[in-house]
Amino acid sequence: MSLSLPSSSPSSSSVSSVPSSLSLPAVVVRLRAVGCVFAEDEAELLVSTARTPAELAAMVERRVAGLPLEHVLGWAEFAGLRIAVDAGVFVPRRRTEVLAREALALARLAVGAPRPGRPARSAGPAAVPSRAVVVDLCCGSGAVGAVLAGSLEGIELYAADIEPAAVRCARRNIGDRGLVYEGDLYDPLPASLRGRVDVLVANAPYVPTEAIEFLPPEARIHEPRVALDGGSDGLEIQRRVTAGAAEWLAPGGHLLVETSERQAPRTVAAFARGGLVPRVVSCEDLDATVVVGTLPAPGPAAGGSGGAVVRPAVGIPVGAR
Ligand SMILES: C[S@@+](CC[C@H](N)C(=O)[O-])C[C@H]1O[C@@H](n2cnc3c(N)ncnc32)[C@H](O)[C@@H]1O
* CATH number for position 74: 1.10.8
Please give the distance, rounded to the nearest whole angstrom, from the Cα atom of residue 86 to the centre of ligand 1: 14
What is the rounded average pLDDT for all residues in the chain?
A: 87
Share of the chain above pLDDT 70, in %: 81
pLDDT for 245 equals 98
Pocket test for ligand 1, best of 93, 138, 181 (most atoms within 8 A of CB): 138
Q: Would the CB of 139 count as within 6 Å of ligand 1?
A: yes
Task: Decide if pLDDT at 5 tops 60.
Answer: no
Residue 313 lies in a domain: yes
Please give the distance, rounded to the nearest whole angstrom, from the Cα atom of residue 228 to the centre of ligand 1: 8
What is the rounded average pLDDT of the residues 40-52?
Answer: 95
Residue 303: CATH number of its domain: 3.40.50.150
Residue 31 lies in a domain: yes
Task: Decide if pLDDT at 1 tops 70.
Answer: no
Tell me the whole-structure pTM to 2 decimals: 0.86
Residue 13 lies in a domain: no
Q: Would the CB of 156 count as within 6 Å of ligand 1?
A: no
Instruction: Return the exposure string of 144-156: e unless at least 16 CB atoms fall within 10 Å of the residue's CB, then b.
Output: bbbbbbebbeebb
Judge whether 313 and 279 are in contact, CB under 8 Å: yes
Residue 160 lies in a domain: yes
Residue 9 lies in a domain: no
Q: Would the CB of 159 count as within 6 Å of ligand 1?
A: no
Q: Quickly state the pLDDT bin for 118 (edges 50, 70, 90).
A: low
148 and 201 together in one domain: yes
pLDDT for 300 equals 53
Please give the distance, rounded to the nearest whole angstrom, from the Cα atom of residue 26 to the centre of ligand 1: 37
pLDDT for 117 equals 55
pLDDT for 122 equals 47
Which pLDDT tens digit goes with each residue over 187-201?
A: 999 999 999 999 999
Residue 261 lies in a domain: yes
Q: Quickly state the pLDDT bin for 125 (edges 50, 70, 90).
A: low
Full residue range of the structural domain in which residue 303 is found: 96-116+128-320
The answer to which of 32-36, 125-129, 194-198, 248-252 has the lowest mean pLDDT is: 125-129
Task: Decide if pLDDT at 116 tops 60.
Answer: no
Q: Would the CB of 78 count as within 6 Å of ligand 1?
A: no
Q: Whose CA is nearest to atom 26 of ligand 1?
A: 227
Which pLDDT tens digit goes with each residue over 75-97?
A: 999 999 999 999 999 999 999 99
Q: Would the CB of 147 count as within 6 Å of ligand 1?
A: no
What are the CB-based long-range contacts (under 8 Å, 24+) for 207-212? 207/1, 207/3, 207/234, 208/232, 208/233, 208/234, 209/234
Give the pairing type, strands 249-259 and 288-294: antiparallel
Pocket test for ligand 1, best of 90, 167, 169, 181 (most atoms within 8 A of CB): 90
Judge whether 192 and 125 are in contact, CB under 8 Å: no
User: How many Å apart are CA 148 and CA 134, to the nearest integer?
Assistant: 9
Strands, E, within the chain: which ranges?
75-78, 81-84, 132-137, 155-161, 178-182, 197-202, 249-259, 277-283, 288-294, 309-312
User: What are the backbone dihedrals phi and psi of residue 81, each rounded to the nearest 5 degrees, phi first?
Assistant: -105, 155
What is the rounded average pLDDT of the residues 118-134?
Answer: 64
Q: Return the bridge partners of 230, or none.
A: none
